[in-house]
């Protein structure tokens, strides 16, 4: 018996990586998706369990392994069972280490920050 396969654009849509199927098809045909390390240009490319997909989603590069094929585009909890996420976790350090995520800096802190950023005259 042949192994079950599904179009890559349909699978990406069912797994809820893209809001619409046409967005997922545009991502594939734009050359932004790789299957097992090979660039894919056709949305009709078939994927099945065990395939590793690499694609960009927003500003993040996602790496996922197809675990099973979906029957429909269901709720997020159902979609998360279709894949296992292999993406390396990004460092979530705050942008300004002086304030360490304490919220908005005070006026005094902002002045000190502005003084530290200005070049010496």
Q: What is the span of the domain harbouring residue 34?
A: 6-85
H-helix or E-strand containing 111?
helix 107-117
Asked, for residue 62, whether it belongs to a domain, the answer is yes
Is the pLDDT at 94 greater than 70? The verdict is no
Provide the sign of the torsion angle of the four alpha carbons 12, 23, 33, 60, taken in this order: negative
Q: Which residue has the higher pLDDT, 89 or 108?
A: 108
Asked, for residue 114, whether it belongs to a domain, the answer is no
Under 8 Å CB-to-CB from 84, ≥6 apart: which residues? 64, 65, 67
Asked, for residue 67, whether it belongs to a domain, the answer is yes
Asked, for residue 42, whether it belongs to a domain, the answer is yes
Convert the pLDDT of each residue in 15-47 to its tens digit.
999 999 999 999 999 999 999 999 999 999 999
Question: Which residue is listed with tokens 């078939």?
Answer: 46
pTM tops 0.85, yes or no: no
Q: How many domains is the chain built from? A: 1
Phi/psi at 106 (nearest 5 deg)? -75, 170
Is the pLDDT at 90 greater than 70? The verdict is no
Asked, for residue 93, whether it belongs to a domain, the answer is no
Asked, for residue 48, whether it belongs to a domain, the answer is yes
Confidence at residue 66, expressed as pLDDT on a 0 to 100 scale:
96
Asked, for residue 95, whether it belongs to a domain, the answer is no
Q: Which residue has the higher pLDDT, 79 or 91?
A: 79
Asked, for residue 25, whether it belongs to a domain, the answer is yes
Which CATH number fits the domain that encloses residue 70? 3.10.290.10
């Amino acid at each position: 018996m042949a192994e079950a396969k599904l179009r890559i654009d349909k699978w990406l849509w069912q797994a809820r990586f893209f809001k619409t199927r046409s967005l997922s098809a545009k991502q594939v045909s734009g050359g932004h998706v790789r299957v097992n390390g090979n660039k894919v240009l056709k949305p009709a490319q078939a994927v099945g369990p065990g395939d590793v997909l690499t694609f960009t989603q927003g500003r993040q590069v996602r790496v996922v392994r197809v675990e099973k094929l979906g029957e429909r585009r269901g709720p997020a909890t159902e979609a998360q069972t279709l894949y296992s996420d292999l993406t390396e976790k990004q460092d979530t350090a705050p942008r300004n280490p002086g304030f360490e995520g304490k919220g908005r800096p005070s006026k005094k802190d902002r002045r000190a920050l502005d003084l530290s950023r200005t070049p010496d005259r």
